[in-house]
Amino acid sequence: MNERELEVRIAKLEALFAGTPYEGEKQAAKQNLDRLMVKLPEEQARDKVTEMQYTGFTPYSKKLFLALLARYELKA
């Protein structure tokens, strides 16, 4: 789960917590919210952007490199 997915889930749980009249549902939402709030800083620290520059590609090595980037969902 990446940082954006965590933020979306946290927003949904906050809405559930604020909107439900049932105490059991509020407690479950609060527990899940607390658990996700612990994960969020870990995910933010892990998702740091790193820039690199590569040069000297042959046409074949460039295609291979771009295919690897696509496989691991990285941006060129």
pLDDT at 54: 83
> Cα–Cα distances in Å, from 47 out to 2, 41, 42, 52, 68?
8, 10, 9, 15, 19
pLDDT at residue number 47: 63
Q: What is the DSSP letter of 9?
A: H
- Burial (CB < 10 A; 0-12, 13-18, 19+), residue 29, is buried
63: burial class by Cβ within 10 Å (0-12, 13-18, 19+)?
A: exposed
pTM over 0.85: no
pLDDT at 12: 92
Domain ranges for the chain: 3-71
List, run by run, the mean pLDDT of 10-residue segments along the chain (76 residues): 84 91 92 90 76 86 90 82
